Amino acid sequence: MCGTGEGGSSTSCDRGNGGTSSGGSHSTSSGGGHSTSSGGGHSTSSGGGHSTSSAGGHSTSSRGGHKTSSGDEASPNVRPSARPQPGGPFLPVDRCGEKPTVDNGDFISDSDRNRMALTFTCINYYKLVGSEQVMCHNDQTWSELPICKAPCTLDKNKRTFDMLDLTKDMFVKEGESQTFLCKKNDNWKSPSAADVRCQNGQVTIGRCALGCILDTWNHHWLDLTQDMFVKEGRQTWNCNQKDYTGRHLVADVKCQSGYLTVGGCKSNATVG
């Protein structure tokens, strides 16, 4: 059985003809044999043999031989390194082993379009914190993973939320605020609502103020999953329809003295 030489050691399967040097050593064949050097060494053949240098070495044949130099290309006799070295600092994600996991989240499989990154998303109401894209370094380790932070829960049975008109438990994403209807109304029975903010898992409820209800039945062209409350003033809401770039069109929504006015859908660039 042949030995394998590394880091400058030299091994030979046949010390007469066809010897092989796999390190940075010096190999000489004086017969009609074949000599191959795959390291950065010096190989000389004085017979009618064949001499090959495959890693930037020097090859000389003095008698009718054939010589081939392939520069810095890898020799088929040299074992590949344990970890491939790409041209850049990252590897395709399918060469990084087992895919990483994020609690309450998962990555989107898009291997055909984006082989260099995994794109993570969180389950409903959980907030993604950190980079949504995770890449594989050339040492086959993953870049920093994002986390999915839990939302704040508004329990309709807790006294803390008695002022809010909750028909079921509701959720507010971490770091965001949402407006909810209040139970009390003014003398004209106009609806009122309060802003609820979730910060570091803690809920802060603002005071109840006059506003309008934006319901899904009468405003089906808007991107609404449930009836929402809008405060006094003017704002914009996403429409279900998108433009050619894939962005939602938007509509003007105005609430004044309890009366709601909703405009048509148009490009976000034209809303001013």
Looking up residue 105, the CATH number of its domain turns out to be 2.10.70.10
Q: Which domain holds residue 138?
A: 90-149
Is position 188 within any domain?
yes
Cα distance between residue 245 and residue 243, in whole Å: 5
Domain boundary among the residues 113, 129, 149 is at: 149
Distances (CA, A) of 261 to 232, 234, 236: 11, 9, 11
Do 73 and 98 fall into the same domain?
Answer: no
Is position 21 within any domain?
yes
Do 24 and 76 fall into the same domain?
Answer: yes
Do 113 and 179 fall into the same domain?
Answer: no
Tell how strand 259-262 and strand 248-256 pair up: antiparallel
Is position 85 within any domain?
no
Cα distance between residue 24 and residue 78, in whole Å: 12
Is position 25 within any domain?
yes
Cα distance between residue 195 and residue 229, in whole Å: 10
- pTM to 2 decimals? 0.48
Do 167 and 125 fall into the same domain?
Answer: no
Q: How many domains does the chain have?
A: 4
Cα distance between residue 115 and residue 86, in whole Å: 14
Is position 122 within any domain?
yes
Cα distance between residue 53 and residue 35, in whole Å: 9
Residue with tokens 């009122």: 192
Do 199 and 220 fall into the same domain?
Answer: no
Identify the helix (H) or strand (E) that includes residue 88. none
Each residue's pLDDT expressed in tens, for the chain with a length of 272 residues: 444 443 343 333 443 333 333 344 444 444 444 444 444 444 444 444 444 444 444 444 444 444 444 444 444 444 333 334 444 588 888 888 889 999 999 988 655 556 888 999 999 899 999 999 999 999 989 999 999 999 999 999 999 898 998 989 999 999 999 888 888 766 666 778 889 999 999 999 998 888 888 888 999 999 888 888 788 889 899 999 988 888 889 999 998 877 889 999 998 765 55
Do 145 and 156 fall into the same domain?
Answer: no
Domain boundary among the residues 80, 115, 137 is at: 80
Domain boundary among the residues 132, 149, 166 is at: 149
Do 172 and 140 fall into the same domain?
Answer: no
Is position 117 within any domain?
yes
Q: Is 258 left (phi over 0), alpha (psi -120 to 50) or beta?
A: left
